[in-house]
Amino acid sequence: MLEHWEQELPVKGIQKITPVSGGDVNDAYRIETDGEPCFLLVQKGRAEDFYAAEIAGLKAMLEAGITAPKVLGNGQIEGDAFLLLEYLDEGAGSQWDLGHMVAKMHLEHQADDQFGFHLPHEGGDISFDNAWTDSWRKLFINERMDQLRDRIAAQGLWDDNDLQTYDKVRKIMTDNLKAHESEPSLLHGDLWAGNYMFLSDGSPALFDPSPLYGDREFDLGATTVFGGFGKDFYDAYEETYPLSEDAWVRIRFYKLYLLMVHLMKFGSVYSSSVGHTMQDILES
């Protein structure tokens, strides 16, 4: 396959294509060329528009002054979608700089005060339509959390007791978000430690976005799930764009969201984490 792609990709002077780590959704490759290397993502069996939202998210971040890889090409070859990106050389950097950059991204607000995005979220296992709305609560609970609940139940991963617990958690989230004034910030949408890096010059960069305009606490919830974000990150964020006093109550809602995504994708290995997080919300 790789030899054939060498003939079809919009890159000149390809010398070598090497598989690299690219997460659980895409196949990923480093392309060595006569000039600068490239980063190639491949999604088997999908049309080229599978990457449309990611491309739009990278563009939005770059326009907001956020460091991210530039898009070099996008298309489809023999039924497989591809996304060709600038290759970023990895180095070491500061959590403080990362926190400042994420806050700067969140200071970019949707001009019409709407939540959502002009393109749907396309994941390997689930999609969300991101339809524009003036209610963050409805977008998050009705269009994200309830869809996840239905998928998890359909896969036999929740029983009636789990569904009843979710209903109690849902009421807490609904009541809290009704009283909370959300602003539609530009969000990465999947801000876990695997989606940022430090470049060779020490500066932070973001990649692999699942973009939308939403409450900024949504991104911060993702940072709490798998580690990789230190005290300096949160301190720098607070200095740049202070959170409300009760923000960390809601951040647990968004931690639950990401854990439910992983429960749906990877099965019962995440059941305990989801259950503990729901109990944490109920007991708060």
Write out the two tokens for 126.
């689930």
Print the domain residue range for 60.
Answer: 2-86
pTM: 0.94
pLDDT given at position 2? 58
So what's the pLDDT on residue 23?
Answer: 60
- Tell me, yes or no, whether 50 and 99 share the same domain: no
Mark whether 124 and 211 lie in a shared domain. Answer: yes
Q: What is the pLDDT of residue 120?
A: 94
Phi-psi region of 83 (alpha: psi -120 to 50; beta: other; left: phi over 0): beta
Give the CB-side neighbour count of residue 227, counting CA atoms within 13 A.
0
Cα of 248 vs its chain's centroid, Å: 19
30, 53, 86 - which closes a domain:
86
- Same domain, yes or no: 141 and 275: yes
**Shared domain check, 110 and 28:** no
Report the pLDDT averaged over residues 72-88: 93
- The last residue of a domain, from among 53, 69, 86: 86
What is the residue-averaged pLDDT of the chain?
94
Q: Are 157 and 268 in contact (CB under 8 A)?
A: yes
- Report whether 246 contacts 278 (CB < 8 A): no
Which of 39, 55, 86 marks a domain boundary? 86
Q: Are residues 270 and 144 in the same domain?
A: yes
Q: Is 190 a catalytic residue?
A: yes
Number of domains in the chain: 2
Q: Which of 219, 114, 135 is nearest to 177 (CA)?
A: 135
Q: Are residues 194 and 56 in the same domain?
A: no
Q: Which entry of 113, 150, 190, 201 is annotated as an active-site residue?
A: 190
- Please say if the pLDDT value at position 1 is more than 60: no
> Model confidence over 188-247: pLDDT tens digits?
999 999 999 999 999 999 999 999 999 999 999 999 999 999 999 999 999 999 999 899
Is 97 or 24 the better-scoring residue by pLDDT? Answer: 97
Give the span between the Cα atoms of 166 and 168, in whole angstroms: 5
Confidence check: pLDDT of 73 > 80: yes
Check residue 122 and give its pLDDT.
83
Domain identity same for 129 and 65: no
Q: Residue 4 pLDDT more than 80?
A: no
Do residues 68 and 111 both lie within one domain?
Answer: no
- Return the bridge partners of 127, or none: 122
206 near 195, Cβ under 8 Å? yes
Same domain? 133 vs 267:
yes
CATH of the domain at 76: 3.30.200.20
126 and 194 together in one domain: yes
Residues 99, 180, single domain; the answer is yes
Q: Are residues 137 and 183 in the same domain?
A: yes
Q: Which CATH number covers residue 242?
A: 3.90.1200.10
